[in-house]
Amino acid sequence: MGIPKVQRAVLTGKGGGPPSALSVGETAVPTIKDNDLLVKVAAAGVNQADTKVRKQVMPGLVAPQILGKDYCGTVVAVGTGVQGYSLGDTVYGQLQAHGGAYAEYMVVDVAKDYVAKKPDSLSDAVAAGIPMGALTAYSGWVTYGGLKVPEGPFEQGPRVLVIGASGTVGHLATQMAKTCLGASLVVGVCSAKNAPWVKDMGCDEVIVYDATDEKGGKVVEAVGTTKWPEWKESFDLIYDTVGRDDLYLLWSHRLLKPSSRWVTCAFPVAEGGARRIGVTDLFAFAWFMGQKAIAGARKWQMVWEVDPKGWPMVTKWVDEGKLTVHIQESLPFSEAPRAHTLVEEGHVAGKVVLVPS
């Protein structure tokens, strides 16, 4: 069967808007250039970045946009300048300068986009869920956090804490720290319902933030020394993948050892009922971390962008079976609004993916 001229895709509204603005419609199948692959999409990962792009679509656009960065699919056409890929290869990766994965067909520029052949051991959905989360995890640990990729057998590695250990970035960061970077202790913060599978992903210990006492009262309200004095100055690096709770921001740095780092890939803002951080809180945190940095002790780092050097390492670890993704839901294109709603609410366990249907 040949390549059609028209395809089904998830389209944004002309003026952006809420998740309900997404709809399935018809659009032309894209054409390829010399350095391109045409990929028949099997699954597309849904990321927070997709929801932000959807909201920022400017009114007055000539045509709706196709979102989606993370993908997995089969190569159905190969540009004349492409080497290393053939018709029928199953590939996965992340698009860079453009979206397009929420469609039946998409173009991958092998010179600019992230692409690799999918191991047979991974399902299409799992492969589509890996790229952006894994690259963000790598960038937090290595590029901004300063951890080194071991060249030989693991020695006594760092002690790390992952806040949001059940999220897309968090559960990949947990696996990466334990199986790829040789962390001697990985502690994750997550909800009680997600604790069992998060521990299976590589956490040595799990801090349950919504634990309750015998009367149903909340026991834990923050990652802090007031609740866990045994963790005071215990960690070489804390990776905050949540960024929406002032208590994580204001308390978690107290768990760091001297000469250590606190890294976040999500600037703290109020969403989904989390308390808004006041100006006084931010100044207090900035003063504390600033004083420590001046003294050569704790340092704060923000993951501003993913490091392209991480892609070869991510694909190597995937090939070795060291990284996988927990799929919460695999939804058809027609349920793209629900997928975006789930991701925006910020309580996805692992990953949500879309599949053509």
User: Do 172 and 274 fall into the same domain?
Assistant: yes
Q: Is residue 91 part of a domain?
A: yes
User: What percentage of the chain carries pLDDT values higher than 90?
Assistant: 54
Q: What is the mean pLDDT of the chain?
A: 83
- Run of H or E residues at 257: strand 256-264
pLDDT at 271: 42
User: Do 148 and 123 fall into the same domain?
Assistant: no
Q: Is residue 148 part of a domain?
A: yes
Give the Cα separation of 72 and 123 in Å (integer).
9
User: Do 24 and 90 fall into the same domain?
Assistant: yes
User: Do 191 and 332 fall into the same domain?
Assistant: no
Instruction: Residue 331: give its domain's CATH number.
Output: 3.90.180.10
Is 252's pLDDT higher than 50? yes
Q: Is residue 34 part of a domain?
A: yes
Contacts of 68 (CB under 8 A, 6+ apart): 10, 44, 45, 46, 50, 95, 99, 100, 101, 102, 103, 106, 354
Q: Is residue 313 part of a domain?
A: no
The string over 151-174, giving b where at least 16 C-beta atoms fall within 10 Å of a residue's C-beta and e elsewhere, is eeeeeebbbbbbbbbbbbbbbbbb
Distances (CA, A) of 301 to 31, 118, 135, 237: 41, 32, 16, 11
pLDDT at 244: 57
Residue type at position 184 = S
- Decide which of 208 and 35 is more confident: 35
pLDDT at 216: 47
Q: Is residue 341 part of a domain?
A: yes
- pLDDT bin (cut points 50, 70, 90) of residue 9 is very high
- Run of H or E residues at 264: strand 256-264
Q: Is residue 310 part of a domain?
A: no
For residue range 135-162, list pLDDT tens digits in order. Answer: 999 999 999 999 998 876 667 789 999 9
Q: Which of 4, 317, 5 is nearest to 133 (CA)?
A: 317
- pLDDT bin (cut points 50, 70, 90) of residue 295 is very low
CA angle at 279 for the pair 278 and 280, rounded to the nearest 5°: 90
User: Do 19 and 35 fall into the same domain?
Assistant: yes
Is 170's pLDDT higher than 70? yes
Helices (runs of H) and strands (runs of E) counted in the chain: 9, 15
Contact 65, 57 (CB under 8 A): yes
Q: Which of 133, 144, 86, 137 is nearest to 110 (CA)?
A: 86
Q: Is residue 185 part of a domain?
A: yes
pLDDT at 22: 93
* Overall average pLDDT of the 228-249 stretch: 72
Is 334's pLDDT higher than 90? yes
User: Do 49 and 77 fall into the same domain?
Assistant: yes
- pLDDT bin (cut points 50, 70, 90) of residue 57 is low
For residue range 58-95, list pLDDT tens digits in order. Answer: 555 556 789 999 999 999 999 999 999 999 999 999 99
* Overall average pLDDT of the 50-60 stretch: 74
Is 284's pLDDT higher than 80? no
Contact 198, 207 (CB under 8 A): no
In angstroms, the first-to-last Cα distance of the chain is 18
User: Do 163 and 267 fall into the same domain?
Assistant: yes
Instruction: Residue 231: give its domain's CATH number.
Output: 3.40.50.720
Q: Is 180 helix (H, G, I), strand (E, B) or coil?
A: helix
User: Do 288 and 226 fall into the same domain?
Assistant: yes
User: Do 142 and 118 fall into the same domain?
Assistant: no
- Decide which of 7 and 253 is more confident: 7
Is 212's pLDDT higher than 70? no
- Decide which of 74 and 285 is more confident: 74
User: Do 180 and 118 fall into the same domain?
Assistant: no
Total domain count, the chain: 2
Phi, psi of 160, deg, nearest 5? -130, 155
Q: Is residue 329 part of a domain?
A: yes
Give the Cα separation of 295 and 5 in Å (integer).
63
In this prediction the pTM is: 0.86
User: Do 274 and 346 fall into the same domain?
Assistant: no
Q: Which domain holds residue 112?
A: 6-129+325-355
